[in-house]
């Protein structure tokens, strides 16, 4: 029967059978301006195997793509590389439609799927380094615990030298094109960096170890197939090299200033600190939270050397948008940053201290005492802001020089 959606062949034995979500803009708090794809893959081995599924509302699209190649009832195995709902949401319905002999997941994946679906342990565990015989090919499993969930794993198909890398090396990018070499390079790097900053940044030390682990396996890889965005069949080192750079978070001259303002006073202070940073040799990036999203700030600090937070005091506390972005960034555990806090106030002025405390709790080295301006900053306050910018720049350049020496 003619299907409304078609599978796309990505290697000799593997078809992409995922779904394209052009409309999503909020991926658990991350602004996905270009939508996303939920990638699932069908291996046409002797024992036909499905790798991952899609978010629940897209199950019909996925089943249609499968049906454009085979009957879903021909699927023998389903492998769940990751239990997060964008990949497992339609798993129960797909199992019902396909009636596979077995469903596999990592040891932690079996537990997580049970805790999602309460289905009497329908999935069976596979071990790190374990294999699954597909008749004419073999699937091997590589656990990637906490990258980015406890259950996460990758699967490797020896026949096509294809690594199903699950969330790693992916990006939120809805496109008809299925391969990275069909997409503009700048878009790939921009969305890849946003994805890393917003999803994987807290696990950067594990990313470095994983890159070593995969390289150490010495397996040939002809196709890298993540669970979001395009697959890679050319330039296969590009994403691993970028991951290596992003995971290191080496300090740069970029200083990110996130701030909001009520009556332009905190905004004026941000501008003066930016001027001081420039005078000191740093490169300020001012991010007004009236026009920037928290995930834009996350993407900018990926290659920054400073994070400076500006907040007016509202009702004895930090301004809501600034609290939002600092809470979000704190969770992402950025490293190697210096910073400071500033802001205006009317009568109590708690926000600057609260912002500075949050920065310290994030591990940001405080490079200068926070500056408060009562109501509207005068020339003296603005001069202090410029001096703070110069002090921060000086500290950034010192750290950068020390870093270069260590290299």
Residue 199 and residue 402: Cα distance in Å, rounded?
Answer: 29
**Contacts with 186 (C-beta within 8 Å, 6 or more apart), sequence order:** none
- Cis peptide before 282, with omega less than 30 degrees from 0? no
Catalytic residue list contains 181: no
276 vs 288: CA distance, rounded Å? 18
Stretch that binds ligand FEO, among 59-67, 80-88, 133-141, 205-213 (CB under 6 A): 80-88
Q: Residues 87, 172, 228, 293: which is the catalytic one? A: 228
Is 84 an interacting residue with respect to ligand FEO (CB under 6 A)? yes
Round to whole Å and give the CA distance between 122 and 74. Answer: 19
**Contact present, 257 and 292 (Cβ < 8 Å):** no
227 lies in the binding site for ligand FEO (CB under 6 A): yes
Q: Examine residue 55 and tell whether it contacts ligand FEO (CB under 6 A).
A: no
Pick the piece of the chain touching ligand FEO (CB under 6 A) from 81-89, 178-186, 235-243, 322-330: 81-89
Q: Which of 220, 240, 230, 79 is nearest to 160 (CA)?
A: 220
The residues near 183 (Cβ < 8 Å, ≥ 6 apart) are 173, 175, 177, 230
Nearer to ligand FEO (CB atom), residue 86 or residue 391? 86
Residue showing tokens 């599978």: 7
- Closer residue to ligand FEO, CB minimum distance, 165 or 354: 165
172 binds ligand FEO (CB under 6 A): no
Considering the complex, state which of residue 88 and residue 313 has its C-beta at the smaller distance from ligand FEO. Answer: 88
Candidates 83-91, 243-251, 310-318, 365-373; binding stretch for ligand FEO (CB under 6 A): 83-91
Q: Are 94 and 59 in contact (CB under 8 A)?
A: yes
Quick one: how far is CA 50 from the chain centroid?
24
Which entry of 28, 124, 182, 185 is annotated as an active-site residue? 28
For the chain, give percent helix, strand, coil, nearest 5.
40, 25, 40
Given 15, 61, 77, 82, the catalytic residue: 82
The two most distant CA atoms of the chain are separated, in Å, by 77
The span from the first CA to the last CA of the chain, in angstroms, equals 61
Active site residue 82: yes
The least distance separating ligand FEO from the CB of residue 228, rounded to whole angstroms, comes to 6
Residue closer to ligand FEO by CB (options 160, 227) is 227
61 binds ligand FEO (CB under 6 A): no
Write down the catalytic residue from 21, 52, 61, 86.
86
Q: Which is closer to ligand FEO, CB of 84 or CB of 143?
A: 84
Helix (H/G/I), strand (E/B), else coil: 20? strand
Catalytic annotation present for 148: yes
Closest CB to ligand FEO among 151 and 260? 151
124 a catalytic residue:
no
Q: Is 21 in the site for ligand FEO (CB under 6 A)?
A: no
User: Can you say whether the dihedral through the CA atoms of 83, 87, 92, 94 is positive or negative?
Assistant: negative
Burial of 304 (0-12, 13-18, 19+ CB in 10 A): buried
Q: Minimum Å distance from CB 82 to ligand FEO? A: 5
Interacting positions 121-160 with ligand FEO (CB under 6 A):
148-149
Q: Which of 228, 233, 293, 372 binds ligand FEO (CB under 6 A)?
A: 228
The nearer residue to ligand FEO, 149 or 259, going by C-beta atoms, is: 149
Closest separation between CB of residue 226 and ligand FEO, Å? 9
Residues 275-314, interacting with ligand FEO (CB under 6 A): none
DSSP 49-60: EEE----GGGHH
Structure tokens at 19: 């779904």
According to CB under 6 A, which one of 15, 47, 65, 82 is a site residue for ligand FEO?
A: 82
* Total residues interacting with ligand FEO, rule: CB under 6 A: 9
What is the binding site for ligand FEO (CB under 6 A)? 82, 84, 86-87, 148-149, 167, 227-228
Residues marked active site are found at: 28, 82, 84, 86, 148, 167, 195, 228
């Amino acid at each position: 029967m003619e299907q409304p959606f078609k599978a796309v062949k990505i290697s000799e034995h593997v078809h992409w059978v995922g779904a394209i979500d052009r409309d999503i803009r909020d991926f658990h708090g991350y602004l996905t301006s270009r939508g996303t794809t939920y990638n699932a893959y069908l291996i046409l081995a002797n024992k036909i195997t499905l790798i991952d599924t899609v978010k629940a509302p897209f199950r019909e699209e996925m089943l249609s793509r499968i049906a454009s190649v085979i009957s879903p009832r021909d699927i023998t195995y389903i492998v769940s590389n990751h239990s997060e709902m964008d990949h497992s949401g339609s798993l129960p319905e797909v199992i019902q439609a396909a009636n596979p002999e077995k469903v596999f997941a990592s040891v932690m994946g079996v537990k997580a799927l049970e805790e999602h679906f309460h289905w009497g342990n329908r999935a069976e565990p596979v071990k790190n380094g374990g294999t699954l015989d597909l008749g004419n090919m073999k699937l091997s499993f590589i656990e990637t615990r906490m990258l980015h969930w406890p259950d996460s794993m990758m699967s490797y198909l020896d026949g096509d030298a294809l690594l199903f890398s699950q969330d790693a090396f992916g990006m939120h990018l809805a496109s008809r094109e299925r391969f990275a070499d069909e997409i503009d390079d700048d878009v790939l790097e921009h969305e890849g960096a946003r994805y890393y900053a917003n999803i994987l940044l807290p696990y950067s030390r594990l990313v470095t170890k994983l890159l070593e682990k995969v390289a150490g396996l010495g397996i040939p890889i002809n196709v890298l197939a993540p669970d979001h965005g395009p697959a890679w069949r050319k330039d296969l080192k590009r994403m691993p090299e970028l991951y290596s750079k992003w995971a290191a978070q080496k300090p740069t001259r970029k200083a990110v200033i996130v701030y909001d303002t009520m009556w332009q006073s905190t905004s004026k202070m941000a501008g003066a600190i930016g001027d001081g940073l420039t005078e000191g040799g740093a490169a300020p990036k001012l991010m007004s939270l009236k026009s920037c999203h928290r995930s834009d700030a996350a993407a900018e600090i990926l290659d920054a050397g400073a994070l400076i937070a500006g907040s007016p005091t509202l009702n004895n506390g930090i301004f809501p948008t600034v609290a939002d972005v600092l809470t979000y960034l704190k969770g992402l555990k950025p490293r190697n940053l210096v910073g400071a806090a500033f802001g205006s106030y009317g009568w109590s002025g708690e926000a600057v201290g609260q912002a500075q405390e949050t920065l310290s709790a994030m591990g940001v080295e405080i490079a200068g005492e926070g500056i408060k301006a009562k109501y509207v900053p005068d020339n003296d306050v603005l001069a202090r802001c410029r001096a703070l910018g110069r002090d921060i720049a000086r500290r950034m350049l010192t750290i950068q020089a020390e870093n270069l020496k260590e290299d």
